[in-house]
Amino acid sequence: MPKSTVLQAVAASNASDDWRLCVAPMIDVTDRHCRFFHRLLAPRARLYTEMITTGALLHGDAQRHLDFNEQEHPVALQLGGSEPDALVAAAKLGAQWGYDEINLNCGCPSERVQKGAFGACLMAEPTLVADCIKAMQDTVSVPVTVKHRMGLDKSESYDFVRDFVGTIYDTGCRVFIVHARNAVLKGLSPKDNREIPPLRYDEAARLKQDFPDAVMVLNGGLTTLADCEAELPRFDGVMLGRSPWHDPSVLARLSQAWWPHLTVKTEPEVIEALVGYAAEQIAAKVPLRIVARPLLGLFNGRSNSRIWRRMLSDSKLLKQDDPELIRLAWQQVGGEAAGR
């Protein structure tokens, strides 16, 4: 068995915990500042970058796209592309930078992505996807995985997704992240594609039955601890998308429920870590507004949460680039400085 296939099999055999809780790759959301914040709330979650195209890495500012904080581990690099040589070069860069996984996007339905001949439209070309996966496996030692949809447009044929997964499975790939909706390639926006096509959880679960030694992670429609616990018995893990953006505390609740033996940071500890991180980033010429953006939903549902959001989105306050703004905003929602 080739080295890459052995590594995939080893990863799969130990993956029930490694992929139990994942935070989805989200364009313009899951940048390195967002991932650092999510790590504070969820010590064992697997974090994913935004989808980064091969062109952006090979012909753009690779350091800007690939830089991350060591505390983010385990962290996966999601690539967008369809040319094996370009994906190999991009995957090699990701491995050199220390990413724990290379994930190929076969699920994004946006027209811009389709014009690049990658994303969800790749599901119509499983042999090409398999060639891409195999080429990356032969180049890097970290797991190479796939994120895909259940189908394309209005066809709800289970055979289609089963055959797609089967073709990729034959390369030795053993980790599949299944967004349990179809991707409608024409007529729906990316937002609509996350909400309108019906969820097909039962058929997604059939993939786990048909490929029992593969890691199957469910994505789509999961927003609460109850949602995740209802579906986890049928899958190896769950991936949350927009819910951690709107209510980041869901990650802490999942962590406390699923890893009760782990020490989860207290609220004062989270705030102190954020203040310290913001100070480091400001010293590195990163504006506070960029660091603060992922934090806006932290206290959703709490009394005075609007004050937190208002202070951390106030352009005049943010222009001062004072990391203490985070602590001051927290005190307005009833917090007290750690250790005081």
Q: Which positions are annotated as active-site residues?
A: 108
Tell me which DSSP letter residue 65 carries.
H
124-121-194-172 Cα dihedral, nearest 10 degrees: 60
**Residue 109, φ and ψ in degrees, nearest 5:** -100, 5
CA dist 208 and 58 (Å) reads: 35
Three-state DSSP class for 200? coil
Q: How many CA atoms lie within 13 A of 242 on its CB side?
A: 6
63 CB neighbour count, 10 Å cutoff: 10
Q: At which residue do the structure tokens 């222009």 appear?
A: 319
Dihedral sign for Cα 147, 152, 155, 161, please.
negative
Report in angstroms the alpha-carbon separations of 307 from 277, 290, 302, 326: 22, 19, 10, 12
